[in-house]
Amino acid sequence: MQEFVNQFFDFGFMAEHFDEVLEGFWITVQLSIISGVLALAWGLILASLRQLPGRGFLPVRAVTIAYIDVFRGVPLLLLILLIAGGIPSLDFLPEWLRLPQWLGKPDNFWFGVLAITITYGAYMAEVYRAGIEAVPPGQMEAARSLGMSHRQAMRSVILPQAIRKVFAPLLNDFIALTKDTTLVSVIAVNEAVLVGSDIQSETFNSSALTLGAIMFLLVTLPLARFVDKLISREQGRFTRGAPRVEAL
């Protein structure tokens, strides 16, 4: 039992390597925030394109649906490897795109951001779509009868209601995105898991990885409880709005 504790829960070892793991976890946090914001925006664009009406927009809807289906089906790890291994070889792209160094971050950081955004944008698009379709059709009809265009009605009437309905599922996707940032370790981004793995390979002790897991839990568990609270509040609002049924 003592060997198990020493291998995974050596708190003295954790304290010794705390700064290294924390620095790696800070990279994880930055990846999560940047990728999460971009994925939320990209998913909303995809969901809006999928809702464009009329035959004239049929090709746009078809391409959007194909994109969502493809990138929900391709593993994120595979996409990370494709982007990081392929984009630097595309000589027709300008260097600032092939080897981005924006905000002082290395190119492999931005390749990870791109892969996560592409994948989770597809997932979040489906969440947005569920929210849009949950808005009663009469809302769009009422907005159009007031002289609004489809775009104006979506922006001012439909989307605000849809986003409120799906805020909890979107936050759930963000939690999953945060955990999946660990996959960028395969392209040598020094996030928490890669740092912990390097320490493990040097010292044959896994406590640094356990420390990384604890840091993830400190972020994801409060978010998960917040999601539960939002879901309970929404269910309570729905229950209060339902007609009462008298007992027989």
Enumerate the domain spans of the chain.
33-182, 190-234
Find out whether 40 and 123 touch, Cβ atoms under 8 Å.
no
Among the ranges given (121-130, 136-145, 185-194), the one the predictor scored with the smallest mean pLDDT: 136-145
User: Do 25 and 185 contact (CB within 8 A), yes or no?
Assistant: no
Q: Which CATH class is domain 33-182?
A: mainly alpha
pLDDT, residue 150, reads 85
What span, in angstroms and rounded, lies between the C-alpha atoms of 151 and 212?
A: 45
pTM: 0.91
Inform me whether the pLDDT recorded for 237 exceeds 90.
no
Q: Return the pLDDT at 232.
A: 84
Least confident of 136-145, 189-198, 208-217: 136-145
Inter-axis angle of helices 192-203 and 18-50, nearest 10: 150
Mean pLDDT of the 108-115 span? 97
Distance CA(170)–CA(36), nearest Å, equals: 10
Residue 248 has pLDDT above 90, yes or no: no
